Amino acid sequence: MRNEETGGTPVINRCASLDRTTADRPLPRPAQRVPPDARLIRAEPTGTEPMPLELVRRDVAGDRPGVPLMLRVRVVDAVTGTPVGGAVLDIRHRDATGDGELRGAQVTGAEGYAEFRTVHPGREAGAPVSIHAEVHVGGYLAGGRSVTYAGPLLVPEQIAGQIDGQVAPRAEDPRPETGGVLHVVPRDRFDLKAGLLGTITVAIGE
């Protein structure tokens, strides 16, 4: 501001006022970049038959026995880091006994999330406890062309070892070339078998 020479009344500079008004306007919000925990690589889908629509379900375990596991996966673009909505996330893993297989699929929402209710996977002899994940982008459910990205989602050995007793709780987690290790939190820190929450962000794309 400046004062007129003939008086003491402050006069607002018009240009400064316009500058402040422009500066006060909210800027467009950029797309949020989400750092991934794991990378899935391009692969051929498991099997050649179209996925039965009854497998598109949130409840994978049904009445199968085992430690409850709520699995939450977010899918993002490997290049831009932005969420990938409308993709089909297909998961499968051994049941708690290790003899059977559980499978389910969900379509990711606008923010890239898909959730499943399942159980802590059984362990294949000599291997880490894992969930096989495939992300299909395109007309997968309709039997059309699609691109698939795949990799394992590993349960931390500190958790898996305490549940199945097959590995020392302090065993180190493997470092896979593709896929990654889940972030797993017990619902009750005094009782792991009361239920687990597993989360991970996976990146897909070239």
Whichever domain contains 172, its CATH number is: 2.60.130.10
Sign of CA dihedral 67, 148, 48, 139: positive
Report pLDDT for 180: 92
Number of structural domains the chain divides into: 1
Domain annotation covers residue 16: no
Single pTM value for the model = 0.78
Report the pLDDT averaged over residues 38-65: 87
Domain annotation covers residue 92: yes
Domain annotation covers residue 116: yes
Contact by Cβ (8 Å): 142, 171: no
Domain annotation covers residue 123: yes
Window from 26-35, 52-61, 80-89, 132-141 with minimum mean pLDDT: 26-35
Contact by Cβ (8 Å): 169, 163: no
- Under the banding of pLDDT at 50, 70 and 90, the label for residue 206 is confident
More confident residue, 11 or 61: 61
User: Distance (Å, rounded) from C-alpha 154 to C-alpha 131?
Assistant: 6
User: Distance (Å, rounded) from C-alpha 129 to C-alpha 122?
Assistant: 7
Domain of residue 199 covers 38-204
The mean of the pLDDT values for the chain is: 81
Domain annotation covers residue 189: yes
Report the pLDDT averaged over residues 30-47: 76
β 196-204/68-77 pair status: parallel
Domain annotation covers residue 121: yes
Domain annotation covers residue 197: yes
Q: Which residues lie across from 117 on neighbouring strands?
A: 59, 70
Residue 1 tokens, joined: 């501001």
Domain annotation covers residue 158: yes
